[in-house]
Amino acid sequence: MKCSIVIPTYKHLEDALRPCMDSIIKYTDTYDHNKEFIIVSNGCGDDVFEYLESIKHHFTNIKILKYPKALGYTVATNIGIKNCKGEYVLLYNNDNVLLEQGQDDWLNYLYEPFKEDKKMGITGCHTLFCPSANRNFILFFCALIKRNLFKELGYLDEIFNPGAGEDTDFCCKTLDAGYNIKCVSEPVLADGFYTDWYPIWHKAEVTVKDNVWWNWDEVFERNGRILKERYQKEK
């Protein structure tokens, strides 16, 4: 699998980016020529740049794209996608930490459905139901996408920037175009309840809320209205 792994990052070196990259290095064959890592560093200080430079020797293919101002998740992610060369694009948040596993297990789990289904468009490790769109969608904190989908459907819609809703929107477009999406997590019984299992821990919304903490609720509600207008139109 030729895969481009896109990681946008905004500040939060010690509590997000460092543990994220350390776990990737530990559980991934980062010297594999079929993998490329694209880090979109935006609105970060010198500490982030210095850290990224210090770990470059762990990777065969790594690009560090630097932008002095905060771009927002959607814009930063699109920049990463546009710099990809892989057949598949993995969108990956900087507040993820891989859990104990065999080397490349996390990637193999995501890739397996593509080998079985020619119409598979997106796989991920967590799904939710979006009331605004009235659809299930893959959360893009960890999602593997066929790169040709971006050529066919366009990039993430930047109307949702700085974040929230672009993953729902892209999943809806993918399904409407006749492709499939799939969650690769397995149900595990814990404390009497079933929960989805995949070898990752996601803090969730660490950087996007930090970027727009003063009007996050307003952004979330606005993006929800956009989704409702697009996908719950009166017939």
CB 108 within 8 A of CB 123: no
Q: What is the pLDDT of residue 186?
A: 79
Question: Is the bond into 187 cis (omega within 30 degrees of 0)?
Answer: no
Q: What is the pLDDT of residue 190?
A: 58
* Whole-model pTM over 0.85: yes
Give tens-digit pLDDT for 158-213.
999 999 999 999 999 999 999 999 999 976 655 666 667 899 999 876 666 565 55
The secondary structure element, H or E, covering residue 20 is helix 18-27
Beta-bridge partner residues of 186: 197
Cα gap 43→152, rounded to integer Å: 31
* Residues of the chain under the 70 pLDDT cut: 187-195, 205-214, 234-235
φ and ψ at 164, to 5 degrees?
A: 95, 105
Q: What is the pLDDT of residue 211?
A: 58
Cα gap 185→197, rounded to integer Å: 5
Q: What is the pLDDT of residue 215?
A: 78
Q: What is the pLDDT of residue 235?
A: 44
CB atoms within 10 A of CB 54: 9
Which among 15, 50, 20 is positioned nearest to 37, based on CA atoms?
A: 20
Beta-bridge partner residues of 67: 42
Q: Which residues of 199-235 are buried (b: 16+ CB within 10 A; e: fewer)?
A: bbebbeebbbeebbeeebeebbeebbebbeebbeeee
Cα gap 14→77, rounded to integer Å: 21
Domains of the chain: 3-231 (3.90.550.10)
CB atoms within 10 A of CB 162: 22
Q: What is the pLDDT of residue 209?
A: 56
Q: What is the pLDDT of residue 206?
A: 65
